[in-house]
Amino acid sequence: MSKPSSQLNTNALNRARGPRGFSGPVVKAKDWKGTIQRIWVYMEKQKAALIASIIFVILSTLLGLLGPLMIGIIIDDYIIPKDIAGTLRFLGELGVVYLATAVFTWLQTFMMVRVSLRTIGKLRQDLFDKLQTLSLRFFDQRTHGDLMSRVTNDIESLNSALSQSVIQIFSSILMVAGVAIAMFSLNWLLAIVTLLVIPLIIFTTKKIITYSSSAFIKRQRDLGDLNGLIEETISGTEIITLFGKEEKMNQQFSEVNERLRQSAMAADTVSGFLGPVNNFINNLGLGFVIAIGAVMTVEGMATVGIIAAFVTYSRQFFRPINQLSNLFNLFQSAIAGAERVFEIMDETPDLLDKENAIVVDSFKGEVEFSHVHFGYEEDKPILKNIHFQVKQGEKIALVGPTGSGKTTIINLLMRFYDVTEGVLKVDGRDIRDYQLSGLRKKIGVVLQDTFLFSGTILENIRYGRLEATDAEVIAAAKLASAHQFIKHLPEGYQTRITSGGANLSQGQRQLLAIARAILANSDILILDEATSSIDTTTEIEIQKGINRLTEGRTSFVIAHRLKTIENADRILVIHQGEILESGTHQELLQKKGFYFDMYDSQFNLGGKTAGGPL
């Protein structure tokens, strides 16, 4: 499995520009045309700003072309004739031209940034909205790091391309074309001399990029390894400390860090040649222009002013050419990132409401699994012919070895997935007939893996029912036996939760999750190992609250600690995806079957032990 931080930083490296603007290997899009058309759908809403930006680009380019011409005129018509007044006047006009160029350049950037931010804002919102519609199956099949990379790095890469690369590419092309026209208009021979070094620039750039690509790829891989090691070290700090492996981790980090230093040195050294080599070629071309221009001046074929204008034009000509390769590379990577974003937006949710889905106000709580089969993968069945009925208000316990399918049954009831075969009914109707959002609002869940959001304790409990008052939140916390520890915190219910609840114990986090479910006051309650991280004393108190909560309400309880489900109306023993036994606690003990073996392994009843512990 790929490591999220590795992916994030590798993508960041793809975007980061190396020495002299070199960016390393480029990720290419599969469908340039289609992706650009989809981006344009978002951008065309900003047509006015786009047109304004293009106008500003044209104006700044024309004024930029006017500057060197004016320098030549100043030299020939004012400086050489020693007309001081005319020189000063013309210098003032030149200053106005350069000032206007700077203003229009800023305006084009401002307008393009505005277009980019609005476009990206809408795209980012649509992507996030899309993620909310996708099922757990979609997230199960992808790493969180990859999804995070698409939501953050890929979109930010497109943002950079839209706000900078697009307008710079257009400006560079316009500048190169304009300078070429201006140079041929002034002196065609000097223009040809200037263009002679372009094939050499293209050749050296291609060679250096070819040689450095493998080095950049290795640097990316080593950076990913380093970030992955850092992530594992931070996440596993307790285990590292427990086993006293700090020195080993330091040594391992040192080795990976050294590999990264060596690969980065190789990549940056090779790519670092690009700038100096191109600068040398540019200066070589400039030297040719000056040398031939000097001869032409002596022979009366050109003036000093024309040569000065050509020197300036040649610099204006080569600068955008050097930039264009990097700009196209960055733009290409951005299009590839946009393509990855659109891949998610093109995903079809596998769980959709029917056209006339039932909007339910409440459930009686009757549940029926009718010959249900299910597998997360087609060729790997998890549940096989699950068949049972639950009456309103019944408390059903699901027990069995780890991986037997207990949580999968709950996932189907929550409609995180749809059954492969058979029918799952709630209140006599196929669960797929109900509106999905309404169905889940009527089912309260406390999962084994507790998740808390950043915010206060009060806000986390209120997540179960957002309109609940503070008094109702506190009442739910008392019922869940969470109030006692909350009131002893420095800020009580206003205590902020950090890093998913890192400042609370696992047991405290689970108590808050139970309080959240209690506050939701759902018609059907699911407790998936809800008391697994709670001490025995607290468990006694919380069982009282759960018993009050489940009274008259259909509930499903998954438990490994069998003592907690002795009072269940019915216990379903799940083994290898099938219901092996069913009955009350006493009935199952009397059968002396699989349930008896499990109970005996926990409490040593002295009976047979042929079964297996949980």
99 has pLDDT over 90:
yes
Interval 162-181 mean pLDDT: 82
Residues 6 and 154 in one domain: yes
89 has pLDDT over 70:
yes
Q: Is residue 241 part of a domain?
A: yes
C-alpha 158/C-alpha 166 separation (Å) is 10
Residues 2 and 135 in one domain: yes
Residues 179 and 124 in one domain: yes
Q: Is residue 174 part of a domain?
A: yes
DSSP string, 498-511: -TTTTTS-HHHHHH
Distances (CA, A) of 179 to 64, 282, 326, 392: 9, 15, 20, 83
More confident residue, 235 or 392: 392
Residue type (1 letter), 231:
E
In which element (H, E) is residue 497 found?
A: strand 496-497
More confident residue, 392 or 29: 392
Name every residue whose Cβ is closer than 8 Å to that of residue 336 and which is 6 or more positions away in sequence: 27, 28, 29, 30
CB 154 within 8 A of CB 11: yes
Q: Is residue 437 part of a domain?
A: no
- As for how many domains the chain has, the answer is 2
Query: Mean pLDDT lowest for which of 67-81, 269-283, 581-595?
Result: 269-283
Residues 229 and 337 in one domain: no
Residues 103 and 241 in one domain: no
In which element (H, E) is residue 555 found?
A: strand 554-558
Residues 333 and 288 in one domain: no
Q: Is residue 267 part of a domain?
A: yes
57 has pLDDT over 60:
yes
Supply the CATH number for residue 69's domain. 1.20.1560.10
DSSP 405: S
pLDDT (tens digit, 9 = 90+) per residue, 103-159?
998 998 888 888 888 888 888 898 888 888 887 777 777 766 667 777 877 788 788
C-alpha 567/C-alpha 586 separation (Å) is 10
Name every residue whose Cβ is closer than 8 Å to that of residue 398 and which is 6 or more positions away in sequence: 406, 409, 410, 556, 557, 558, 559, 571, 572, 574
Residues 177 and 208 in one domain: no
Q: Is residue 71 part of a domain?
A: yes
Residues 89 and 129 in one domain: yes
Residues 193 and 276 in one domain: yes
Interval 180-204 mean pLDDT: 81
Q: Which two tokens stand for residue 545?
A: 């609250």
The boundaries of the domain holding residue 116 are: 1-11+30-186+327-350
CB 7 within 8 A of CB 145: yes
pLDDT (tens digit, 9 = 90+) per residue, 330-347?
776 678 778 888 888 888
DSSP string, 109-175: HHHHHHHHHHHHHHHHHHHHHHHHHS-HHHHHTS-HHHHHHIIIIIHHHHHHIIIIIHHHHHHHHHH
Assign 3 a pLDDT band (cuts: 50, 70, 90).
very low
- Pairing label, strands 429-430, 421-426: antiparallel
Distances (CA, A) of 381 to 15, 232, 386, 577: 43, 33, 12, 8
Secondary structure class of 491 (helix, strand, coil): coil
Interval 575-591 mean pLDDT: 90
Q: Is residue 259 part of a domain?
A: yes
Q: Which two tokens stand for residue 120?
A: 């990206």
Q: Which two tokens stand for residue 68?
A: 């060197």
C-alpha 426/C-alpha 421 separation (Å) is 16
Summary count for the chain: helices (H), strands (E)? 23, 12
Q: Which two tokens stand for residue 535?
A: 């001490």
408 has pLDDT over 50:
yes
- Would you mind telling me the total number of residues written for the chain in this entry? 614
Residues 172 and 249 in one domain: no
Q: Is residue 335 part of a domain?
A: yes
Q: Which residue has the tokens 């011409």?
A: 69
Residues 217 and 286 in one domain: yes
Distances (CA, A) of 18 to 9, 274, 430: 15, 10, 59
C-alpha 411/C-alpha 424 separation (Å) is 12
What is the crossing angle of helices 506-520 and 536-550, to 10°?
10
Interval 463-468 mean pLDDT: 86
Assign 531 a pLDDT band (cuts: 50, 70, 90).
low
Q: Is residue 144 part of a domain?
A: yes
C-alpha 154/C-alpha 8 separation (Å) is 10
Residues 63 and 3 in one domain: yes
| SS3 letters across 413-470 | HCCCCCCCEEEEEECCEEHHHECHHHHHHCEEEECCCCCCCCEEHHHHHHCCCCCCCH
CB 522 within 8 A of CB 468: no
CB 334 within 8 A of CB 34: no
